[in-house]
Structure 1
Amino acid sequence: MLVLLPPSEGKAADGDGPPLDLASLTLPGLTAARQEVMAALTEVCSGAEEEARRVLGLSPAQTDALKRNLSLETAPTLRADQLYTGVLYDRLAPAGLPRTDRLLIFSGLWGAVGPADQLPPYRLSIGSKLPPLGGLGAYWRRAAKKDLDEFTEGHLLVDCRSSAYASAYKNEAALPVRVLRERVVDGQAERSVVSHMAKATRGDITRSLLLEGVEARTPEELADALRDLGHTVELGQGRLDVVVRD
């Protein structure tokens, strides 16, 4: 079993590890593609500031991100599971887990990395279109599929990625995790898809699975394990629904 995660927009600003070593990252077959994206990002960030911010979707207050993107090869690094600091990672709390080797983190810059990979702080969303590469979702869908297929072969893929990052790699073995909020209105239970809460819930269930060492091989085994851990889940239409109640 592998849990597929998105990165987060929120990132730690500083590391204290050695400079980036692309060959040491998970999926070393992606090294050439990673170098290509880094070069395209460097080209953008070396140009006019306003245009660079437009391409990367940054506000004037985020100009420091351009400087970080220009220091990828020399900046101190930190583990990927410490670099990302958004809601999902707050709830996952990877530093307190006995093992995290069941995680694969997708990235607009790196394609996909392991939680222990040493990375420098950066800013690049999968939704960005870097000249001359174009949209990064489509880029990684082409560049990484072979390596990712080999890496994930034989595993049930618990897909906790957002739709943007899910577009970068598709696999029939992936089971998307959807979060539904259930509320009682006028005596009737009503459900709706949630977004921000979904990140927290995906972090919660991933932490539960890793803490208990769950090794599910099928969607049914996964659903049973999560129920045993106290989560309300339902299987249907090629996905796993996690129900949270007010």
Structure 2
Amino acid sequence: MLILLPPSEGKTPATAGEPFDPADLHFPELAPARREVLSALAQVSSSPEALARLGVGASLAAEVRRNTRLHDEPSAPAHTVYSGVLYDALGYRSMTPAQKRRVDEAVVVVSALWGAIGFADRIPAYRLSMSVGLPGTGKLASYWKKHLPAALEAHADGHLLVDCRSSSYAAAWAPVPERTVIVNVFQERDGKRTVVSHFAKHTRGELARHLLTRRGKAPDTPEALLKAAQEVRAAELVPGTARKPHALNIVLAG
């Protein structure tokens, strides 16, 4: 089983440590593409239109300036840099050493800057979303869609993929449908279901934690994933097709 996560919008900068080493990141075949994105991001972030180009407000100006010196910034494991609702619910810090090793092996983060990285890869904090367009790359979801399949298909071969990404990050790579299960979260009130945002992040993080810390064999089929999810939440499985992945729908009471 592999779990696909999006990065968090907010990042927790490392306060000390060596800069990231491109050679130490997972999926080394992405190195040339990463260099192109890093260069384009530094160029945009140093321009007078940086905030508008990156779609952020003035309160994030310091984070945008950091984008211009990422090769010199201190780095930390991705599970430390990424923060926010999903990662709080995942609760990596409270896991046992054995559970952390399992998480490091099973989680892949799909990123606008790095393409895809392992959960323990050391990275600096940065500000960039998948919906942004950069000079030379265009929209990053489309850019990474050209590069990620070659890097990720071999890594994913033989695994059940639990896809907890948001829509903009899911657009960057579409795994083989028959072994992929996307995780949807709905709230049900008076018999009516609605899509939720904040609670969806929390629930996906909660599900990822359960799957990675529970006893027994990791789910290796969509049906086994459904049973595991039902240990903590009401859920149902919508079977996929040759072109469409399976869907695990988690239903929260209103």
Counterpart Cα distance in 2 of 1:66 and 1:182: 39
Q: Which runs of 5+ in 2 are unaligned?
A: 240-245
Q: Alignment partner for residue 56 of structure 2, among 55, 58, 61?
A: 58
Partner of 1:78: 76
- Deviations 1:167-202, CA, capped at 9 Å, x for gaps: 00001232110001122x3xxx22222111100000
1:57 is displaced (CA, Å) by 0.6
Give the TM-score normalised by the residue count of structure 1: 0.93
Q: CA 1:157–1:15 in structure 2 vs 1: closer, same or farther (change >3 Å)?
A: farther
- 5 Å-filtered alignment, 1:69-218, equals 69-97=67-95, 98-99=99-100, 100=103, 101-171=105-175, 172=177, 173-183=179-189, 185=190, 189-212=191-214, 214-218=217-221
| 1:243 corresponds to | 251
Could you tell me whether the CA contact under 8 Å between 1:17 and 1:118 is conserved in 2?
no
Matches of 1:240 and 1:134 in 2, distance apart?
A: 32
CA distance in structure 2 between the partners assigned to 1:46 and 1:68 by the alignment: 10
Q: Secondary structure at the match of 1:122?
A: coil
1:112 & 1:68 partners in 2: Cα distance?
21
Q: Which residue of 1 aligns with 2:229?
A: 226
Match of 1:8 in 2: 8
Structure 1 unmatched runs, 5+: none
When the two chains are superposed, the root-mean-square deviation of aligned CA atoms in Å is: 1.2
Distance 1:15 1:152 in 2: 34
After TM superposition, give the deviation of residue 86 of structure 1 in Å: 1.1
Name the SS for the 2:70 alignment partner. coil
Identity in percent: 42
What secondary structure, in the 3-state scheme, does the structure 1 residue paired with 2:69 have? coil
- 1:13 Cα deviation from its structure 2 partner: 2.8
CA contact (8 A) 1:15 1:120 kept: no
Residue identity matched to 2:229: L
The C-alpha deviation readout for 1:182-236, integer Å capped at 9, x for no partner, is 22x3xxx222221111000001111111111551111001111222x23211001
Which runs of 4 or more aligned residues in structure 1 lie more than 6 Å from their structure 2 counterparts after TM superposition?
Answer: none
* TM-score using structure 2 length: 0.91
CA contact (8 A) 1:56 1:124 kept: yes
SS in 2 for 1:54: helix
Report the Cα distance in structure 1 between the residues aligned to 2:84 and 2:109, rounded to whole angstroms. 13
- Partner letter of residue 186 of structure 2? L
Task: Give yes or no for contact 1:80–1:117 (8 Å, CA) kept in 2.
Answer: yes
Q: Which amino acid aligns with 1:91?
A: A
